[in-house]
Amino acid sequence: MKNCKYTVYNESNLAKAHILFLATLFTAILVSCSPSPSLNQNDDLPPLKENEFYAQNMETEKYYKVKAEIIYEGDKCVIWAEEDSGITPEKAEEIADKYDTIIRPKVVETFSMKNFNVKEGDEIYHFDNMLDYANALAGREDKKLTILLLDIKDNFKDQEKDSYVAGYFFGGNFYPPGKIKGTKHYSNGRDMIYVDTYPGLEKKPEQTYATFAHELQHLINFVTRVSVQMNSKYLYLMDTWVDEGLSSQAEYLYLEKNPPEKCEWFKEDTEGTIAQGNNFFVWDNHREKPLAILDDYATVYLFFRWLYLQADTALQSHIFLDIETSNYLDYRAVTNAAGEINTSWKNWETLLRTWLAANYYPKNSYGYTGDDYLQTITVKPIAEKTISLYPGEGVYSIINDPFSSTGTNIYIRYAGLANNQTAIITSPPYTGNVLLTFNANTSNTAAREAGSLTGVSPAVSPTAARNVQTGTLTGPFVLDARDMLERAHR
């Protein structure tokens, strides 16, 4: 598992009836969709003055100070804007209203524990939801999220091809304000998120509002880990793909539709890496093609949306909360929840195989049930005889004759798929229209393994034509701060 480990100790402010957790760094700073632990910070920054914040340059990795002012205060948030940002009071009021009345209620309802108690020593504290807990965790009492609007420094220049950071959450802000002891990171001592003004709010406002929801889930996920593990010696964070998958569904909650940039990226497969198997399970593993990271965002959205669509109405109301609050941090958080839909899906291999099958035959009963738009997505078959696959990856090839593999790689699996059929052929000989070849290893740090394909060239069809690389997708493309910083650090 790609998790960070921290020593944790607690302090109480009993008179104020809230809890402030401070963490002693063990191996890396508290992160979620946030800065890399390795920084090129040459000089210490001075302490914060009134109306100042620390932020991080996503290109250089260095922290710097931002002068800001309160533009508007909502019921559940305080909107701060960088000086000379151009954010008007009217715009700030609109942002606060969207947060207070749409984004926050939906994200809290879907992802947050509610009406829970936290025990510290002999004291028990009650919280209505995880955002109130986050506010107390930062040593604050107003129950209002700080939203800092700024032009995030991410080297954005080219409207057509550059990536940019639309917003981020940094777990280190739960430390007291100032430089975090033993690190080169800086804390603002607040429960807060950072939101980009350019190109974000100016050029892509709806996508940026969806980023509010995305980052709010990351914040909830982080403080949920603190709550669930508060009596443990170490704090572990969820696997990147699980956390990102949940945040992708927070975007849907705001948009109330499939995010078009993710779905179209999947359909067009601009980098050609989706057809070669690339997906979310081993996050950012095809770095030879910088934009292949967008495959991860697209496929993790589709996987979690598919899981939701396969659930009945009763389970849909809490399936993401079940994952959010799981004691597991890896694929098991997902399989435990998926097992409530179909008991066989408690097994990762079976769950993965079914979702991969859905991506080739999305109209089958195991596909994107009830979503007419997602039933138009499909991946291309390829004509290779062999392919090397990371854990979680799967590819498709046309079956002309029953197929039986003689491969001996331990985690490579096969399945036969056919249109309009419920059954997936899981034992040789594999029959149907398409052979699925996939790597069922549950370790997302394991090496690739080679699998066999049929080598049959696919016929040109309307389905195949729909998925040729059209090149119609253009930037700017949104990347999480974590991924942007990793690129800067290479």
**Residue 403: strand, helix, or coil:** strand
Q: Quick one: tokens of 80?
A: 């701060």
Q: Quick one: average pLDDT of 300-309?
A: 98
pLDDT higher than 70, residue 487: no
Report the C-alpha gap between 337 and 345 in whole angstroms: 9
Give the pLDDT mean for 337-353. 98
Q: How far apart are CA 197 and CA 81, in angstroms?
A: 9
Q: Which residue would you say has higher pLDDT here, 211 or 118?
A: 211
- pLDDT at position 154 is 86
Mean pLDDT over 215-221 rounds to: 97
Express each pLDDT in 46-91 by its tens digit. 999 999 999 999 888 899 999 999 999 999 999 999 999 999 999 9
SS3 115: strand
Residues whose CB is less than 8 angstroms from the CB of residue 344 and which lie 6 or more positions away in sequence, other chains included? 350
Instruction: Return the pLDDT at 124.
Output: 87
Identify residue 60 by its one-letter amino acid code. T
Strand partners, 192: 146
- Judged against a pLDDT cut of 50, whether residue 30 lies above it is answered with no
**Higher per-residue confidence, 349 vs 183:** 349
As a whole number of angstroms, the distance between CA 130 and CA 186 comes to: 23
Is 104's pLDDT higher than 50? yes
Averaged pLDDT for residues 285-307? 94
Predicted pLDDT of residue 155: 77
Which run of H or E residues covers position 226?
Answer: helix 205-228
On the question of pLDDT at 26 being above 60, the answer is no
End-to-end CA distance of the chain: 21
Residue 3 pLDDT level (bands cut at 50, 70, 90): very low
d(CA 185, CA 173): 10
- Which of the pair, 155 or 434, is modelled with greater confidence? 434
- Between residues 340 and 472, which one has the greater pLDDT? 340
Q: What is the pLDDT of residue 405?
A: 78
Structure tokens given for 95: 């942002």
Q: Per residue in 404-423, pLDDT tens? A: 976 778 999 999 999 989 99
Residue located via tokens 């401070």: 22
The percent of the chain in helix, strand and coil, each rounded to the nearest 5, is 35, 20, 45
DSSP string, 263-325: HHHHHH-TTS-TTTT--SSSTT--TTSGGGHHHHHHHHHHHHHHHHHHS-HHHHTTHHHHHHT
Contact 152, 478 (CB under 8 A): no
Q: Mean of the pLDDT values across residues 98-124?
A: 93
**Predicted TM-score of the model (pTM):** 0.90
Phi–psi pair at 19, nearest 5 degrees = -115, 135
* Confidence band, pLDDT 50/70/90 cuts, at residue 473: low
Model confidence at 177: pLDDT above 80: yes
Share of the chain above pLDDT 70, in %: 84
pLDDT at 244 over 70: yes
- Cβ neighbours, 10 Å, residue 81: 25
C-beta separation of 439 from 393 below 8 A: yes
Q: What's the rounded Cα separation, in Å, for the pair 387 and 414?
A: 13
* Contact (CB, 8 A) for 335 and 348: yes
What phi and psi values does residue 459 have, to the nearest 5 degrees? -75, 150
With bands split at pLDDT 50, 70 and 90, how would you rate the model's confidence at 9?
very low
Alpha carbon 28 to chain centroid, angstroms: 20
Span 222-241, mean pLDDT? Answer: 84
The residue with greater pLDDT, 128 or 291, is 128
Q: For residue range 357-388, what is the model confidence (pLDDT) as tens digits?
A: 999 999 999 999 999 999 999 999 999 999 99
Per-residue pLDDT at 36? 47
Q: Are 304 and 322 in contact (CB under 8 A)?
A: no
CA geometry: angle 294, 295, 301, nearest 5 deg: 95
Helices (H), 361-472: 462-466
Mean pLDDT within 460-483: 56
- Give the per-residue pLDDT at 23: 39
Sheet holding 77-82, edge to edge: 52-56, 63-73, 77-82, 145-150, 192-196, 167-168
The mean per-residue pLDDT over the stretch 115-139 comes to: 90
Residue 226 to residue 234: CA distance in whole angstroms: 10
Q: Average pLDDT over the chain, rounded to whole?
A: 87
The structural domains of the chain, with segments of one domain joined by +, span: 7-234, 260-458
Residue 481 — very low, low, confident or very high, per pLDDT cuts 50/70/90? confident
Average pLDDT over residues 170-177: 93
Cα 415 to Cα 437: distance, rounded to the nearest angstrom: 7
Distance CA 82, CA 386 (A): 53
Phi, psi torsion values for 129, nearest 5 degrees: -165, 175
